[in-house]
């Protein structure tokens, strides 16, 4: 194996680790916003609408960063809005 391939392999591993940590942080943030929103919806809190906007915005940002697939984002947003609207 050439030296170049060894260097590139180690760089790929470093980059993958950085991306993994960033993706994990973004996913965690989205989960936190969704959990807060679901608590407010269950408590019938008035500020749930503003939380919904924040959660949907963070989901869209995660899609643009490549953390979530666009279909997963659509599914999450659909579920959130269905929970928010009265049955």
Q: What is the mean pLDDT of residues 4-28?
A: 90
Please report whether residue 6 resides in a domain: no
Please report whether residue 52 resides in a domain: yes
Which domain does 45 fall in, by range? 25-84
Please report whether residue 37 resides in a domain: yes
By the 8 A CB rule, do 62 and 76 touch?
Answer: no
Q: What is the mean pLDDT of residues 12-24?
A: 95
Q: In the predicted model, is pLDDT for residue 2 greater than 80? A: no
Please report whether residue 10 resides in a domain: no
What is residue 1's predicted lDDT score, i.e. its pLDDT? 52
Please report whether residue 55 resides in a domain: yes
Please report whether residue 12 resides in a domain: no
Please report whether residue 78 resides in a domain: yes
What is residue 86's predicted lDDT score, i.e. its pLDDT? 73
What is residue 14's predicted lDDT score, i.e. its pLDDT? 92
Query: Total domain count for the chain?
Result: 1
What is the pTM (predicted TM-score) of this model?
0.83
Please report whether residue 18 resides in a domain: no
């Amino acid at each position: 194996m050439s030296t170049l391939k060894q260097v590139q392999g180690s760089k790929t591993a470093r980059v993958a680790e950085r991306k993994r940590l960033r993706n994990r942080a973004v996913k965690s943030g989205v989960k936190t916003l969704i959990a807060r929103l679901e608590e407010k919806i269950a408590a019938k809190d008035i500020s749930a609408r503003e939380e919904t906007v924040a959660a949907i915005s963070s989901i869209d940002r995660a899609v643009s960063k490549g953390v979530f697939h666009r279909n997963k984002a659509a599914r999450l947003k659909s579920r959130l809005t269905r929970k928010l609207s009265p049955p």
